[in-house]
Structure 1
Amino acid sequence: MPEFIDDSTFGTHFETFERTAWRLEARRGYASDRQSAHWARWKAGEDVGHDPSSAWRENIQRRTTAGKRIERIRLVEDPPTEGQLFLLAPAPSNETAGEDMRNMWCADANRLGGPTVDFWLFGDQPRPGAPLRRC
């Protein structure tokens, strides 16, 4: 049975998950991004795709080095919104740290009837008897 995580403990799951952390990112942008110094640097034309290490990327590297998986699928408009372009910009740094990031056109997700809200799934235990494989 899935466990729903409340806001007060959400962040701890990135440190304690046992197997996988998987994200669907469906929004066209985030207000919190527009208020960040990172956004201002990106808007000024700086390359934010190869930034020095951050706490997020250091955690990704620790977890993936330990054999865990952190994966993300980002739904992207065609053409991408300004917020999505910003989200795509630092992807090289996250991928270098070990996060498996994929993009999917929103039109394809809509055609397939996929979800349209952001969420994280933390997979800590395989189903009994289920084979462990990647598609």
Structure 2
Amino acid sequence: MTTSSRTLGDLFDTFQREAFRLETLDDYSNSGNVDAYHAFLAGEPQPDDYNAGWVEELRSHTGKGKRVYRAHILRRPLTDYLRFELGWGYQKNMSGGEEFYILDVTGKPNPLDAVPDFWLFDSEYVAVMNYDATGRYLGSEVLGPERAAEFAQHRDAALARAEPFTEWWAKYGA
């Protein structure tokens, strides 16, 4: 893989039009928000300030007309972590303008089975997100523009098969 000198943080600071995320895992519980995840599992209410920093960043982007959106490939029944992520995270992040889509592959083949998690910025730069088997974030690798078209195809394939989160959640949410 070709790596540029840019970082994931640089890409968030400099994107002009859109940032797209593909999520492929059913458990990111070792990557952050661990305390919130345990509170969710214990049946505690969501704190008012949950994800406040990310929601503020989202508003700074969406307030300038930039689009931040993601698709999550998943299967039912949902893991505890996905119930947390979709119920607490997605719901909260929508208040900052982030858009969500679900590609539910329950009972059917995953059309993007070997595709890793990634962020795609302005269809020009890709940051591949690396995780271990327990869902612990290991870091990202920023790829150069020569790989962007490949990941734009993955984005388009996911979105062509996905449905808006709010519609999916109304049918299958907890």
Residues 94-135 of structure 1: per-residue CA shift (max 9 Å, x gap)? 011100011121248735x2254211100167xxxxxxxxx9
Identity %: 28
For the residues of structure 1 that align with 2:79 and 2:92, how far apart are their CA atoms? 21
For the residues of structure 1 that align with 2:32 and 2:56, how far apart are their CA atoms? 23
So what's the TM-score if we normalise by structure 1? 0.74
Correspondence 1:101 to 2:100? yes
Q: Identify the residue that residue 74 of structure 1 maps to in structure 2.
A: 72
Letter in 1 for 2:22: L
Q: Identify the residue that residue 10 of structure 2 maps to in structure 1.
A: 12
Structure with more of its chain in strand, by fraction: 2
Letter in 2 for 1:47: P
Count of equivalent residues: 121
Q: Identify the residue that residue 119 of structure 1 maps to in structure 2.
A: 118
So what's the TM-score if we normalise by structure 2? 0.59
For the residues of structure 2 that align with 1:55 and 1:34, how far apart are their CA atoms? 13
User: In structure 2, the residue corresponding to 1:73 is in which secondary structure?
Assistant: strand
- Structure 1 residues 100 and 108: CA distance shift in structure 2, 3 A: farther
Letter in 2 for 1:101: F
CA contact (8 A) 2:29 2:37 kept: no
User: In structure 2, the residue corresponding to 1:63 is in which secondary structure?
Assistant: helix
For the residues of structure 2 that align with 1:109 and 1:19, how far apart are their CA atoms? 33
Residues 9-68 of structure 1: per-residue CA shift (max 9 Å, x gap)? 1123222211110011010111424771111111111233x7326211101011001000
Q: Identify the residue that residue 54 of structure 1 maps to in structure 2.
A: 52
Contiguous gaps of at least 5 residues in structure 1:
126-134
For the residues of structure 1 that align with 2:58 and 2:32, how far apart are their CA atoms? 24
Higher relative contact order (CA closer than 8 Å, sequence separation 6+): 1
For the residues of structure 2 that align with 1:68 and 1:76, how far apart are their CA atoms? 26
User: In structure 2, the residue corresponding to 1:45 is in which secondary structure?
Assistant: coil
User: In structure 2, the residue corresponding to 1:32 is in which secondary structure?
Assistant: coil
- 1:88 offset after TM fit, Å? 0.7
For the residues of structure 1 that align with 2:18 and 2:108, how far apart are their CA atoms? 22
For the residues of structure 2 that align with 1:4 and 1:120, how far apart are their CA atoms? 14
